[in-house]
Homo-oligomer: A and B are copies of this chain.
Amino acid sequence: MKNRLIWEQILSDDLNPFYDAAPRAHSTGLISREELALANRNSGIFLEALQHDITPAGMHYLLVHFDVPNIRKEDWRLEVSGLVGNPLALTLDDIKALPAVTMPVTLECAGNGRTAMTPRTCSMPWFFEAVGTAEWTGTPLSHVLDHAGLAEDAVEIAFFGADRGFDRGIEHDYGRSLTPDKAMSDEVLLCYEMNGMPLLPQHGFPLRLIVPGWYGMASVKWLDRIEVLDHAFQGHQQVGTYRYRQDSGDEGRPVDVIRVRSLMAPPGIPDWYTRRRMVDAGAVEMTGRAWSGGGVAVERVEFAVDGVWQDARLEPRGGDYAWTKWTCIWQAEPGEHVLACRATDANGDVQPLEQVWDNSGFGNNIVQQVSVTVR
């Protein structure tokens, strides 16, 4: 029996990631080893953790584009430069001395649900689990920007992390931008604590941006540089990716506000390999969470058994940017069933039953379905 060395299997023969900027091919087939390596590396939430208001440390979803930087707090500074009256180099203690806010925020990866797309862009192959809600503590970004003094001709503000690498042949520090209006809004935070503890290295220690209500790509981790620009930021993570596109030639439009979505904690007990569920007949209390972006409330969650929908009960949410708990009693009868849940927000937006196409697999909020056996 011939067993090849693993690295021979991992590397694609026809792809040089450093010099070839051509779009990667889509896949209609099974999962590639590169996708599997990303799935091994990045983490989704355990769906059973949807029972908790606040996702425990290490169960929150995590997407790391490059490597987790190894930052010593003593060596770290937050630099604020560009079109400001007063350039800054702040220590973590400087930032902690500013007024602090603690806020529960639901973060979701823009690529959540990508694996449902056919064909599928070659990236992190999320199923439904790229979400989590933490208590974030920090200071409003506006305090730091006020201190620096934004110039009147500021057009965008760029935020850079200490993480550096390549994507599609382009070497860059991870960087994203906001307009001055958005950056100055109350809810945008510079955070140094998660769930009452200093940030874990993988969640952005010592400081990260949190942009509540937007997909996670905006919440730059390992933030160490803010630059105020007189033009629109042209960084790869702003204009080269995180755009809704119908095809790869399309200029697209930016991915920003989280789309309405709900998930359920799967009932019963699982099979180890397939994750298929076995449920005992009788009354089952179903629970899950629902959320939308931009501070918009979820107004309705429906729960379905084999395509028959009923309204679930909603509990008050913990804040404008936190998810909403829903519950529903299901009278489970023996046999094979498919469960589903569907949320509607205050804008009237509702999760689709049919997959909506996006070339990069962004913003997919199709309803979750869970297949169960009742005994």
Hey, which bits of chain A sit against chain B, CB under 8 A? 1-7, 9-12, 15, 17-18, 24, 29-41, 43-44, 46, 48-49, 51-52, 56-59, 62, 64-68, 70, 113, 115-118, 122-123, 125-129, 164-167, 171, 200-203, 266, 269-276, 278, 338, 354-357, 366, 369-371, 373
In the bound complex, what is the Cα–Cα distance between A171 and B271 (angstroms)?
A: 9
Residues B46 and A35 in contact, CB atoms below 8 Å apart: no
Interfacial chain B residues near A4, Cβ < 8 Å: 116, 118, 355
Q: Name A30's contact: one of B31, B59, B167, B276 (CB within 8 Å).
A: B31
A202 to B45, CA, bound (A): 11
Known A1-B118, A269-B166; judge A274-B58 contact (CB<8 A).
no
In the bound complex, CA of A6 to CA of B126 (Å): 11
B contact residues around A30 at 8 Å (CB): 29-33
User: Which one of B1, B274, B355, B369 contacts A12 once the chains associate, using CB atoms below 8 Å?
Assistant: B274
> Given A6-B116, A68-B49: A165 and B32 within 8 A (CB)?
no
Majority secondary structure, A binding face = loop
Closest B-chain residue to A58, C-beta based? Answer: B58
B166 and A272 contacting across the interface, CB-CB below 8 Å: yes
State in angstroms the CA–CA spacing of A67 and B269 once bound together. 7
Q: In the complex, A272→B62 CA distance in Å?
A: 14
Residues of chain B within 8 A (CB-CB) of A38 are 273, 275
**Beyond A125-B40, A166-B269, is A56–B202 a contact (Cβ under 8 Å)?**
yes
Which residues of B are found within 8 Å of A7, using beta-carbon distances? 338, 369-371
CB contacts (< 8 Å) of A35 on chain B: these are 31, 36
Write 18 A-B pairs (CB below 8 A) sorted by A numbering.
A3-B118, A3-B357, A6-B128, A6-B369, A7-B371, A9-B115, A10-B275, A11-B371, A17-B276, A29-B30, A30-B33, A33-B115, A34-B274, A36-B125, A52-B70, A67-B266, A166-B271, A171-B269
A35 to B31, CA, bound (A): 9
